[in-house]
Amino acid sequence: MTAALALGDDALVLSHRLGEWAGHAPVLEEEVALANIALDLLGQARVLLSLEGDEDELAYLREERAFRNVQLVEQPNGDFAHTIARQLYFSSYQELLYGQLASEGRSAFAPVAAKAVKEVAYHRDHAEHWTLRLGDGTPESNERMQRALDSLWRYTGELFEPVEALPVDWTALRDGWLTTVTDVVARATLTLPGGPQVGAWTAGAGRQGIHTEPFGRMLAEMQHLHRSHPGATW
Amino acid sequence: MLTLADLGVLRGLHVTGPGRVEVELTPTYTGCPAVEAMSADIERVLRERGQEEVTVRTVLSPAWSTDDITAEGRRKLAEFGIAPPRTTGPVSGPVPVDLAIRCPHCGSTDTTLLSRFSSTACKALRRCEACREPFDHFKEL
């Protein structure tokens, strides 16, 4: 696995998931916000995948097992709280990861990380504000936000599995992530999930090309047009 | 009209031979779809001015910041109804006291954030509490 694929696939897959909210978001402002975040991620994915090869071939012509994204980003949107929990977990991780990569000037990832970290800071801020609002909102919103945090928790352990050739201090990344998430969750009057950060029955993880069931259906939709009409443009 | 130079996205222009020009362009946001339009415009204008071989190269480093928007660019943004970004970098000289975002329509500083993401990724949506008009704010990056 190459690091460009790991980072690029994370961004691409989450971008597609967020794009699925178009036409379905609870309010117009959120429709726009989620689409904007998706666009930032798509831009990052294009730069990262281009470091590896042809961006279109990589995005549209690879089979499921060749994708190296973490399983967290491929999880279905669920309700709005579910999407926000996924955003909180992932953007907190991505901001710290890009922050470290940006400061490692010799890495090929430094330029894109330095640029993207500023965008991701807004994504994390967006997720943080919504977590506070839903957690400290009505009993219904609190319950749903808690349920979302709990159900996605088992996908967070994989985030800190070292990716080969990335100059990252993974222990510091994990500690920083836990501090950030713990703080937001506490302020939102929610409870940090306590269970294991990996599923008991997983046969591997996204970085090894092992994905969860919903990912295949997502890819089928994402790749359908390009596979049916190769080279289509509009 | 806000120019690419006002926006601070032009990073370099090299004449590499007779009728051959290479332009370096940096995106505001990594996924900014306007980069392609900007790039096409640069090529078209330079070709119209007699340059036969025009190459536009995208550069990411150093990352673009809203601090790269010129004073003239900020003035034009406000004139167009978009509140310009505040400076984010270290300020030389006295630190400005007024950090509020001013309504581009009536000038009031009594404005509220409605959404961090607006019509494009680079803007936030705000409302003026004095004149009640919504407006875009070019958010700091």
pLDDT in tens, B52-85: 999 999 999 899 999 999 999 999 999 999 999 9
Q: Which two tokens stand for residue B8?
A: 């601070």
Kindly report the nearest CA distance between residue A194 and chain B, in angstroms: 32
Amino acid B121: pLDDT = 84
Whether residue B31 and residue A42 make contact (CB cut-off 8 A), yes or no, is yes
Amino acid A107: pLDDT = 87
Whether residue A47 and residue B30 make contact (CB cut-off 8 A), yes or no, is yes
Short-list A113, A85, A93, CA closest to A178: A93
Short-list A73, A75, A96, A82, CA closest to A180: A96
Q: What is the ipTM of this complex?
A: 0.81
Kindly report the nearest CA distance between residue A200 and chain B, in angstroms: 37
**Residue A233: which pLDDT band, with cuts at 50, 70 and 90?**
confident
Quote the percentage of chain A above a pLDDT of 70.
97
Residues of B in contact with A32 (CB under 8 A): 115, 117-119, 125
- Is there a domain that residue A74 lies in? yes
Residue-wise pLDDT for A92-145, tens only, equals: 999 999 999 999 878 899 999 999 999 999 999 999 999 999 999 999 999 999
Whether residue A114 and residue B62 make contact (CB cut-off 8 A), yes or no, is yes
CB of A81 less than 8 A from some CB of B: no
The shortest CB-CB distance from B117 to any of A32, A41, A114 is to: A32
Average of per-residue pLDDT across B90-98: 52
Kindly report the nearest CA distance between residue A19 and chain B, in angstroms: 14
- On whether the CB atoms of residues B17 and B52 are closer than 8 A, the answer is no
Amino acid A19: pLDDT = 97
Helix or strand holding residue B40 (H, E): helix B34-48
Query: Is it the case that residue A202 has pLDDT exceeding 60?
Result: yes
Query: Is it the case that residue B96 has pLDDT exceeding 80?
Result: no
Query: Is it the case that residue B93 has pLDDT exceeding 70?
Result: no
Amino acid B71: pLDDT = 93
Whether residue B31 and residue A32 make contact (CB cut-off 8 A), yes or no, is no
**Residue B87: which pLDDT band, with cuts at 50, 70 and 90?**
confident
Can you give the three-state secondary structure of chain A, one letter per residue? CCHHHHHHHHHHHHHHHHHCCCCCCCCHHHHHHHHHHHHHHHHHHHHHHHHHCCHHHHHHCCCHHHCCCCHHHHCCCCCHHHHHHHHHHHHHHHHHHHHHHHCCCCCCCHHHHHHHHHHHHHHHHHHHHHHHHHHCCCHHHHHHHHHHHHHHHHHCHHHHCCCCCCCCCHHHHHHHHHHHHHHHHHHCCCCCCCCCCCCCCCCCCHHHCCCCHHHHHHHHHHHHHHHHCCCCCC
**Pairs of CB atoms within 8 A across A/B:** 69
Q: If you count them, how many residues does chain A have?
A: 234
**Which amino acid is it at A232?**
A
Whether residue A36 and residue B117 make contact (CB cut-off 8 A), yes or no, is yes
Least trusted range by pLDDT, from A1-15, A139-153, A172-186, A197-211: A197-211
Highest mean predicted confidence (pLDDT) among A60-69, A200-209, B119-128: A60-69
Residues of A in contact with B29 (CB under 8 A): 39-40, 43, 119
The shortest CB-CB distance from A32 to any of B27, B62, B115 is to: B115
- Is there a domain that residue A107 lies in? yes
Kindly report the nearest CA distance between residue B114 and chain A, in angstroms: 8
- Is there a domain that residue A41 lies in? yes
Give the mean pLDDT of chain A. Answer: 94
- Is there a domain that residue A233 lies in? no
**Number of domains chain A contains:** 1
Range of the domain at A138: 3-228
**Residue B92: which pLDDT band, with cuts at 50, 70 and 90?**
low
Query: Is it the case that residue B103 has pLDDT exceeding 80?
Result: yes
Short-list A93, A76, A105, CA closest to A156: A93
Whether residue A39 and residue B31 make contact (CB cut-off 8 A), yes or no, is yes
Amino acid A200: pLDDT = 67
**Residue B99: which pLDDT band, with cuts at 50, 70 and 90?**
low
**Residue B94: which pLDDT band, with cuts at 50, 70 and 90?**
low
Quote the percentage of chain B above a pLDDT of 70.
92
Residues of B in contact with A125 (CB under 8 A): 116
**CATH code for the domain of A28:** 1.20.1260.10
Whether residue B31 and residue A110 make contact (CB cut-off 8 A), yes or no, is no
Kindly report the nearest CA distance between residue B79 and chain A, in angstroms: 25
CA–CA dist A116, A99 (Å, integer):
9
